[in-house]
């Protein structure tokens, strides 16, 4: 996982590097989050995008 951390340092915020490294280390397909700091990360997807991709009908909700 250290190699993934080093690979992403400076590309994204320091607080987010470990999350991206963990997703890549575990070969996960998605990093589901609301955080716009992950934009540009190939695994990043919003909760709405994830639900739509799964074929689940969501509903509008404000947070």
Q: What is the pTM of this model?
A: 0.75
- Residue extents of the structural domains in the chain: 2-53
pLDDT in tens, 6-63: 777 878 888 888 999 999 999 999 999 998 889 889 999 999 899 999 998 877 777 6
DSSP letter string, 1-63: -HHHHHHHBTTB-HHHHHHHHHHHHTT-S-EE-S-GGGTT-TTEE-HHHHHHHTT--------
Predicted local confidence at residue 43, as pLDDT: 95
pLDDT, position 8: 75
Identify the pLDDT of residue 63.
Answer: 65
**Residue 46: predicted pLDDT:** 94
């Amino acid at each position: 996982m250290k190699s993934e951390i080093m690979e992403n340092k400076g590309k994204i915020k320091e607080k987010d590097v470990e999350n991206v490294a963990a997703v890549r280390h575990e070969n996960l397909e998605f990093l589901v989050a609301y955080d716009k700091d992950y934009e540009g990360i190939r695994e990043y997807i919003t909760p709405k995008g994830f639900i739509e991709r799964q074929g689940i009908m969501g509903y509008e909700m404000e947070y």
